[in-house]
Amino acid sequence: MAARLLRSSLRMSGGRCALRSPPAARFSHSGEEKRLETPSAEKLTDIGTRRIFSSEHDIFRESVRKFFQEEVIPHHAEWEKAGEVSRELWEKAGKQGLLGVNIAKHHGGIGGDLYSAAIMWEEQAYSNCTGPGFSLHSDIVMPYIVNYGSEEQIKHFIPQMTAGKCIGALAMTEPGAGSDLQGIRTNAKRDGSDWILNGSKVFISNGQLSDIVIVVAITNREAHSPAHGISLFLVENGMKGFIKGRKLHKMGLKAQDTAELFFEDVRLPASALLGEENKGFYHLMQELPQERLLIAEMGLSASEFMFEETRNYVRQRKAFGKTVAHLQTVQHKLAELKTHICVTRAFVDSCLQLHEKKRLDSATAAMAKYWASELQNTVAYDCVQLHGAWGYMWEYPITKAYVDARAQPIYGGTNEIMKELIAREIIRDK
Ligand SMILES: Cc1cc2nc3c(=O)[nH]c(=O)nc-3n(C[C@H](O)[C@H](O)[C@H](O)COP(=O)(O)OP(=O)(O)OC[C@H]3O[C@@H](n4cnc5c(N)ncnc54)[C@H](O)[C@@H]3O)c2cc1C
């Protein structure tokens, strides 16, 4: 892993964590480190577990956990009221080397591996703070710029994004087109070497705070299919005609700035085109597996968080003279939840390994997203139930986890669309 990652981890923890052995690691007679998998760990959120990680990752994880504990959790309720997190938080994350973790150093990123990026996703889920749109920025928007951008675009945006001074968003969905992206109406027309962009987008995460938005637009209405006439554009905050609408009033994810965006005759220079003209749809298809894996990972980690939260609760809550945890039906429910979570963890970790080797295909990523986000909602439902009425009160973390879970089967492609992708592979003539 990049030395910078390690250095930033040590800086954040004052060097302390390097002296501590990871709590859940065990050593064999030969002294070789044997990492526990989640079923045998004391807690599903323990540091030092899972064979996909190394002790260097553990050090990084300690520092990320500390960041969420100190810089995010204490302010999250206030950001929920504001409907967005502070810009200062983004810059702090940038300073600590927590943005663009999996973006190569030579492009201006941190240069960590995919597992380090996954630690960011997991630790955010363990903090139960869904406000900061870090994963979207670092692991969805930045890869588009790195993979399809010109040298000039990469140089201009990536270092600023790593520093948290430029916040990214991705705008595909429109009021009339979500699942069926080929039905979008936002369009860009040539005017000399410039483009003129018109249209609107909705449900855009990081929309309000965004400095740079990747906008999906039609560039050729005559193409033999709509997919052949779609391009991507980099639209910067402050461009004339780029208007940010209201922050949307959501059921959950209260601290996330999900917004409507409007484009009224926005003049874009030729250099705003991202990737190849009319190849936007193919660029999107290429990048979607990572987005789906990320949603699966965060959903599963949220399940691990909810399980631990509920285990604590039932061990102290009393009913009929004993703790609720003494009731056999409660124990069986916890056994079911833990089994489902750990089985899913094995699958999602294997997807991470495949993706680290660039071998994760679209249908497998779709399975992970569909399965983990459905599980997250089942776990949320059962964990609220095990909390009784306190699970229905906003001040209890499980309540927030419950409402936040609901968006997961919807965005990143609905789970019905995931099943379409999985089914297509099943029945395809090989
Ligand atoms: C909190 C949040 C954040 C979001 N962030 C972003 C973002 O940053 N950028 C962005 O571009 N979008 C974002 N979205 C939008 C999201 O990606 C879309 O909502 C999603 O793709 C579904 O589109 P839709 O809402 O238009 O549903 P529709 O496409 O209208 O679907 C309605 C229902 O029909 C079903 N359906 C549609 N087609 C089929 C089919 N072929 N087979 C079976 N069932 C089908 C769907 O599964 C769904 O149940 C976000 C959404 C939410 C809730």
Higher per-residue pLDDT: 29 or 280: 280
Report the candidate in 38, 11, 7, 36 with the shortest Cα–Cα distance to residue 21: 36
What is the average pLDDT score of the chain? 93
Q: Is the pLDDT of residue 28 over 80?
A: no
Q: Which residues of 150-187 are buried (b: 16+ CB within 10 A; e: fewer)?
A: eeebbebbbbbbbbbebbbbbbbbbeebbeebeebebb
Residue 234: Cβ-neighbour burial (10 angstroms; 0-12, 13-18, 19+): buried
**Taking a C-beta distance cutoff of 8 angstroms, is the pair 245, 259 a contact?**
yes
Best mutation site among 203, 247, 374 for ligand 1 pocket (most ligand atoms within 8 Å of CB):
203
Say yes or no: CB of residue 413 within 6 Å of ligand 1.
Answer: yes
pLDDT tens digits along 75-100: 999 999 999 999 999 999 999 999 99
Residue 29 pLDDT more than 60? no
What does pTM read for this prediction?
0.94
Asked whether the predicted pLDDT for residue 22 surpasses 70, the reply is no
Catalytic center residues: 291
The closest residue, in CA terms, to atom 32 on ligand 1 is: 179
* Distance from Cα 337 to the centre of ligand 1, integer Å: 28
Distance 410 CA to ligand 1 centre (A): 6
Return the half-sphere exposure (C-beta side, CA atoms, 13 A cut-off) of residue 347: 19
Q: If you write DSSP's letter for every residue of 104-137 in order, what string do you get?
A: -GGGTS----HHHHHHHHHHHHHHT-----HHHI
Predicted confidence band of residue 25 (pLDDT cuts 50, 70, 90): low
Give residue 143's pLDDT.
98
Atom of ligand 1 nearest to the CA of 413: 21
> 215 φ, ψ to 5°?
-110, 130
Rounded CA separation 109/98 (Å):
10
Give residue 253's identity as a one-letter amino acid code. Answer: L
At residue 247 the predicted structure's pLDDT band, cuts being 50, 70 and 90, is confident
Which atom of ligand 1 lies closest to the CA of 416? Answer: 47
In terms of Cβ atoms closer than 10 Å to its own Cβ (0-12, 13-18, 19+), residue 239 is middle
pLDDT of res. 6:
46
Which pair of structure tokens corresponds to residue 33? 């480190």
Tens-digit pLDDT profile for residues 336-380: 999 999 999 999 999 999 999 999 999 999 999 999 999 999 999
**Is 370 a pocket residue for ligand 1 (Cβ < 6 Å)?**
no
Average pLDDT over residues 34-60: 96
The b/e string for 258-272 (b: 16+ C-beta within 10 A; e otherwise) is bbbbbbeebebeeeb
- Output the pLDDT for position 34: 82
* Average pLDDT estimate for 14-40: 57
The verdict on the CB of residue 178 being under 6 Å from ligand 1 is yes
- C-alpha 178 to ligand 1 mean position (Å): 5
Other C-beta atoms closer than 10 Å to the C-beta of 27 total 10
Q: Which of 204, 258, 370, 411 to mutate to test the pocket of ligand 1 (most atoms within 8 A of CB)?
A: 411
* Å from CA of 339 to ligand 1 middle: 30
pLDDT value of position 26: 52
Q: 100 near 110, Cβ under 8 Å?
A: yes
Structure tokens at 372: 């983990």
pLDDT value at position 429?
83
Ligand 1 probe mutation, 135, 136, 172, 173, most atoms within 8 A of CB: 173
DSSP-assigned letter for residue 177: B
